[in-house]
Amino acid sequence: ADIISLQADGDYVHIYTLTGKYMKEQTMKYFDENLPADQFARVHRSCIVNIHAIARIELYDKQSQQLTLKNGQQVKVSQAGYKLLRAKLNL
C-alpha cells in the first residue's frame, strides 16, 4: 500500500514509496506478476503505478496521456497502458 510507482532501470527497478526511494534487482515482469492486479497497473513498458496514487490523468500529446501521482511524480502512459488503466478504473 506504501508503493506509489515502480520504474525500470536496466536490471534494476526503482521503487517509489511514501517514505523514500528503493532499488531492487528484479525485473518489471516479476513485479507485474506479483503485485495485486486490482491495485497496480503497468502503464508503460518501464513503469507500474499504484492506481490509488493517481492524482490526475492529462492529455500529453495528440494520442498519449500523462499521469500525475500524489507525490508529484509525472509518468507518461503508453497507448496499451492507457487501455489497461481505463479498464481498471472503469472509465
**pLDDT tens-digit profile of 38-51?**
999 999 999 999 99
pLDDT given for residue 51 in this prediction: 93
Return the closest-CA partner of residue 52 out of 64, 75, 70. Answer: 70
How far apart CA 85 and CA 80 sit, in angstroms, is 9
pTM given for the model: 0.89
What is the mean pLDDT of the segment spanning 71-79? 91
pLDDT given for residue 39 in this prediction: 93
CA atoms within 13 A on the CB side of 81: 22
Please name the residue that has the C-alpha cell 509518468: 75
How far apart CA 54 and CA 89 sit, in angstroms, is 11
